[in-house]
Amino acid sequence: MAWNSSKNKSLGSSSEKSVLGPGAPVAFNSGTTGKPYRDSWDIERAYREGMQKVTWVNRCIDAISGNQARLPVILRKDNSPDGKIVTDNKDNKILDLLNTKSNIGENSFVFRYRLSSQLLLSSRGAFIEKVRGRDGGIIGLHLLPPQHTSPIPHPKTFVSGFEVDMRNGTKVILKPQDVVWIRKPHPLDPYLSLTPLESAGIAVEIENLSKIYNRNFLLNDGRPGGLLVVRGEIDDDDKDELRSRFRGNINRAGAITVVSSDEGVDFVDTGSSPRDANYIQMRQITKEEILASFGVPESVIGNAAGRTFSNAAEEHRVFWNETMLPHMELIGRGLDELDVEYYIDFDTSEVPILVLYKQERERYLLDEFQNGLISGNEYRRGTGRKLVDSDLMQAMLANPNLTPIGYTDKKFDSTQQAQMAGAQPGVPGVAAAGMVPTPGAAAEGQAPGAEQAQQPQQPQQPGAQELAAQMVDFNTKPNTMAEALAAEQGQQPAQQQQPVMASPTALSAFGSDMQFKSETKEISDWDAKAEENADRWVEILDRNIERLFERQQRVVLEKATGAKSKKLIAANTLDVDSIFDA
């Protein structure tokens, strides 16, 4: 396009066509084009002096990598983060590689654990080689060594390949379509990746030095360094002897040395004790700085001392929301190129702290729905449920009768709203039905005006307002929950075809269609219930009496066949009272 050319975008543009645009990744360092891009960061040293020696670095990397590797990878439809989870694609090779076995030597947990560790340690990111089968499909994933892998910048395609230095001295260049490059974006250099160890480097070094200082202090018998000043002149042999005596080590702990001099001996302390060096405070500060750099609270790595339950839970929530989710998002977007059809995501539905957070949000949405601020479908959408195709679910319902006060997808009729507002409590759907009879309406089987002739005109009291009789058609779909209850409780018999008349103030509107409960029916129902209760009590008493006789029979048999009865029979003294006693 003409408006997007370099001639009208740059004030100092010339007639010659520019090879590189000013915003190209290699524009400011065009000398790197076609050459492997390397930096001075030593990932092997970062591992040796960071993860291998500093406890906090090791635990932070382990917490982030372990939590990421144990979560199952899922696929979402429509290549969208809000797409439905694919549940019927068990034969997908990408899921098998990311959840079961990534290559011949590593399962998915080991592969993904190493992937996160390299992202946290390397300034170049992580490089994944795609192993393809004969059909061109991906059958394996291998992690390339980040310290020996370098991207080759290109002015148009960003990278033209990846150079890998092999152990035997040879160099292999892989095609860009065969390598997945995952990195945390660098604000200035698009070919580098950010690592937390860059900002925590000094804290890591201080932590190492403080440990070495404390170790040497203990090896020196817990004594600081100093100068032994002997007044007068001594020869070299005496100096060496004194030096060997005062050279502290773990084998001479507690040893006593005697020095004699005619003019006296002085000792000058040139060292400092751990107390003077603020050893404890310094280590506490470096620990907090390292944990903050990685975004891992101390309670996550196993130390919740000095914290309340709520504070520890909040630290876990911050860890998952601010550290784990962005870290997994970075990996998921990098792995997206493995499957062009689906969106790669992580299943966090079983993470306890995220489940509690989801429950709190659902309770908030439920309160909004109950207060009439959102519709039913908005609540269902916010809680991840399927939407319901109904006008009632699109309406905002007001308590206490759950009367619609507005729709979210169409205009709400103000006349209908006024009729609902004037309806009788508990029956808000009467006015909502929109079936208001006009004076002179004819009933079934009657001539026009017959109903008016049968019903005398009722005088109105001063100031009283007579509401028009309203008609509810129970064959139509109710618009509110209360209307549905009213329709269920007031369902007409099957033989009636005319809708029932209802009015909040005039009972005469019902006419002869009103039904009354029979007193005889109430009496017969009461008799039937009383008879049923009596039969139940008779059955209970019969069962108790039967159990009593069974118990007595068992007791009599046990006494008659017992050892005492046999003795009485042998002595001819057995009588009835010895068997049937109380």
pLDDT at site 529: 80
Query: In the prediction, which pLDDT does 328 show?
Result: 96
CA gap 228, 242 in Å, rounded: 8
Whether residue 145 is predicted with pLDDT greater than 90 in this model: the reply is: yes
Annotated domain spans of the chain: 29-222+280-344, 226-270, 351-388, 390-437+469-512, 532-582
- For the record, the structure tokens of 383 come out as 């809680």
Least confident of 23-32, 75-84, 463-472, 473-482: 463-472
Instruction: State the sign of the Cα–Cα–Cα–Cα dihedral 303, 304, 306, 311.
Output: positive
> Measured between alpha carbons, how far is 458 from 171 in angstroms, rounded to an integer?
105
427 band by pLDDT with thresholds 50, 70 and 90: very low
| Residues 146 and 127: beta-carbon distance below 8 Å | yes
423, pLDDT greater than 80: no
Average pLDDT, stretch 393-422? 67
State percent of the chain over pLDDT 90.
Answer: 33
Exposed e or buried b for every residue in 78-105, given b needs 16+ CB within 10 A? eeeeeeeebeeeeebebbebbbebbbee
Is the pLDDT assigned to residue 12 strictly greater than 50? no
Please count the CA atoms within 13 angstroms of the CA of 478 that sit on its side-chain side: 21
- pLDDT greater than 70 at residue 346: yes
Query: What DSSP line would sit under 427-483, residue for residue?
Result: -THHHHT-B-PPTTPPPTTS-TTHHHHHSPPPPPPTT--PPPPEEE-TTSPPSSHHH
Q: How many CB atoms lie within 10 A of CB 14?
A: 9
pLDDT, tens digit (0-9, with 9 covering 90-100), for 62-105: 999 999 999 999 999 988 888 888 887 777 889 999 999 999 99
Q: What is the pLDDT of residues 115-142, one digit of tens each?
A: 999 999 999 999 999 999 998 899 999 9
CA distance 474 to 478: 8
Give the pairing type, strands 470-472 and 226-230. Answer: unpaired
Q: What is the pLDDT of residues 182-223, one digit of tens each?
A: 999 999 888 999 999 999 999 999 888 888 877 877 776 666
Task: Specify burial of residue 557 (Cβ count, 10 A radius: 0-12, 13-18, 19+).
Answer: exposed
Q: Which of 163, 207, 136, 137 is nearest to 32 (CA)?
A: 163
Tokens 């079983």 label which residue? 350
pLDDT class of 468 with cuts at 50, 70, 90: very low
pLDDT at 73: 94
pLDDT value of residue 23:
57
* Whether residue 6 has pLDDT greater than 50: no
pTM of the predicted model over 0.75 = no
| CB-CB contact of 162 with 33 (8 Å) | no
Calculate mean pLDDT across residues 476-501.
50
Confidence label for 485 from pLDDT (cuts 50, 70 and 90): low
568 within 8 A of 574, measured Cβ to Cβ: yes
**Which tokens hold the place of 507?**
């009972």
Q: What is the pLDDT of residues 153-193, one digit of tens each?
A: 988 888 999 999 998 889 999 999 999 999 999 998 889 99
Q: What is the pLDDT of residue 121?
A: 94
Give the list of residues 6+ apart from residue 73 with CB closer than 8 angstroms, or none: 95, 98, 99, 344, 345, 346, 347
Are 567 and 544 contacting, i.e. CB atoms less than 8 angstroms apart? Answer: no
